Amino acid sequence: MVKKVVENFKVEYLQVMDENGKVDKKLMPNLSAKQIKEMYELMILIRTFDDKAFSMQRQGRIGTYICYKGQEASQIGSTYALNDKDWMFPMYRNTAAYIARKHPMSMILQYWSGDERGLKSPDKLNNFPLSIGVGTQEPYAVGCAWASKLKKEKNVSFVYFGDGGTSKGDFHEALNFAGVFKVPCIFICENNQYAISVPIKRQTNSETIAQKALAYGIAGIQVDGNDIFAVYKAVKEAADNARKGKGATLIESVTYRLCDHSTSDDAKRYRSDKELKQWQKKDPVDRLEKYMKANKLLNDKYKDEVAKKAKEKVEKEVRIFENIKDPDPDDIFKFTFEEMTDELKEQNEEIK
């Protein structure tokens, strides 16, 4: 019997910067000092927002909130590698990416206070509404990427989802379509180790999520998702390839949610303190700071200034949010059908 060996059935793991902030110079992407500082300032801004939004939820000032603490490198590294014209398809944990893509923070607070208008993308921002339904957004991203290809535009579509999302049929359909039609799409799986309380080991028997790309004939890579340079490099390469007509890439960003799943969850019930502490040592913000300090890009004065500016920006947005007029409840009824049904009229009266 002759065994045929199928070549190239492997996925790479990319880490540029280790936990001590030391980079492998051969792998370091081409980023100027100004760009690294810009990335750092965004990381501090989104962490400040995350802390603020969480405490506002606890104070009853917004309805619910999904934290992203621990996933900052994954979201800033990826958005930073893409252009404003590229199309983003986020999930509920991607409000950090939203902020990086210029969606006003006041509107994010508006959304999490139950006002859907907060998700309306301001003009000229190519950001789709975030998806609450797990794994529903991947086929949309593929469709959009296909449209870009047919229109001979150079934009790529990029879509975020969690490890849990990879168990949904939509994920597999999207990857298959992307492979067959060679569309310019980047699939970013933020593998934060859990889907609420379900650990990755119970989600898939594959060694990596990245390897699932191979089955669909697209590129796949696993990156250290707490290393902003690795995420940036992988996404930049995927985007360059997509723009050259080389098709889609699946990027597994290996990270950890340092917070609860949501404001109605208590992660202590299913994660050990020991595990959390191990991941806290890999904190993506601390890691970038270590690199910047060693490379004379960060001193105490600059660090304090960045923190102060971030706090001021966030507080300003909170004030804007708190002055937004409540939506008119009649709108729920008015815009469902061209003419209100009798049943809707009744409900409308009841709410009044």
Binding region for ligand TPP (CB under 6 A) out of 4-12, 112-120, 189-197, 309-317: 189-197
Residue 206 identity (one-letter amino acid): S
Q: Is 139 a residue that touches ligand TPP (CB under 6 A)?
A: no
**Does 195 contact ligand TPP by CB under 6 A?**
yes
CA angle 211, 215, 217 (to 5 degrees): 100
Told to check if 94 binds ligand TPP by CB under 6 A, we report no
For residues 287 and 297, what is the distance between their CA atoms, to the nearest angstrom? 13
In the range 33-72, which residues lie near ligand TPP by CB under 6 A? none
**Residue from the set 70, 77, 139, 162 that interacts with ligand TPP by CB under 6 A:** 162
Q: Is 188 in the site for ligand TPP (CB under 6 A)?
A: no
| In the complex, least distance from residue 196 CB atom to ligand TPP, rounded to whole angstroms | 5
Please, which residue, 98 or 194, has the CB nearer to ligand TPP? 194
Show which residues are catalytic. Answer: 257, 261, 270
Candidate ranges 6-14, 131-139, 295-303, 336-344; the one touching ligand TPP (CB under 6 A): 131-139
Build a one-symbol-per-residue string for 248-277: x at contacts with ligand TPP by CB under 6 A, - elsewhere. Answer: -------------x----------------
Query: One-letter amino acid identity for 158?
Result: F
Closest separation in Å from C-beta 276 to ligand TPP: 15
CB 286 within 8 A of CB 249: no
Asked if residue 195 lies in contact with residue 161, where contact means CB atoms within 8 angstroms, the answer is: no
Q: Which residue type is seen at 205?
A: N
Q: What is the DSSP letter of 129?
A: P
Residue 21 CA: distances (Å) to CA of 31, 74, 138, 192, 289:
16, 16, 33, 21, 8
**Distance separating alpha carbons of residues 80 and 84, to the nearest angstrom:** 10
How many whole angstroms separate alpha carbon 39 and alpha carbon 342?
54
Interface residue list for ligand TPP (CB under 6 A): 93, 132-134, 161-165, 192, 194-196, 261
